[in-house]
Amino acid sequence: MEAEYQVDEQFLFIYIPQEVDHHVADKIRRETDVLLSERSIRKIVFDFHDTRFMDSSGIGMILGRVKKMRKCGGSVEAVGVSNQVARIFDMAGLPSVMTMRQKEECV
């Protein structure tokens, strides 16, 4: 239920847990912003491989990081997005402000 973080050169990889609601999104927001202030990060990669639930609080947290990274010329990407989470991304228009790669799923 905890996010995990890995910094590799100018990349910050964030492994998102199974469920992202306001409680979880708020924690990721705070932890990420500490890392962003301490290290010189140019790109955040949110890894959604484990995630099967996300609501609008997750959207807000991601959009906030997109804005922040843009200010310093950086960018944000989401990988391993399930169909479930993709439909939330799509409804919020996220694919127009960031790269999103879906998980390969058997239908």
Partner 1 sequence: MSDVENYMKVEFEGISENERLARMLVSAFVVTFNPTLEELEDVKTATSEAVTNCIIHGYEQLGGPIEMTMEKKGQELFLQVADYGIGICDVEKAMEPLFTTKPQLDRSGMGFTFMEAFMDEVKVHSVKGKGTVVHMKKIFGSTCKRV
Ligand X SMILES: Nc1ncnc2c1ncn2[C@@H]1O[C@H](COP(=O)(O)OP(=O)(O)O)[C@@H](O)[C@H]1O
Cβ closer to ligand X: 17 or 60?
60
Q: Is residue 66 a contact residue for partner 1 (CB under 8 A)?
A: no
Judged by CB under 8 A, the number of residues near partner 1 is 20
- N-term to C-term CA, the chain: 26
Among ligand X, partner 1, none, partner that 21 touches (CB below 5 to 8 angstroms by kind): partner 1
Q: Which of 26, 39, 40, 49 binds partner 1 (CB under 8 A)?
A: 26
> How far is the C-alpha of 22 from the C-alpha of 106, rounded, in Å?
30
Going through 19-87 in order, the beta strands assigned E by DSSP cover 19-20, 43-47, 53-54, 75-81
Q: Which of the residues 48 through 67 are near ligand X (CB under 6 A)?
A: 56, 60
Between helices 83-91 and 56-71, what is the axis angle to 10°?
70
Q: Summarize as ranges the residues that interact with ligand X (CB under 6 A).
A: 56, 60
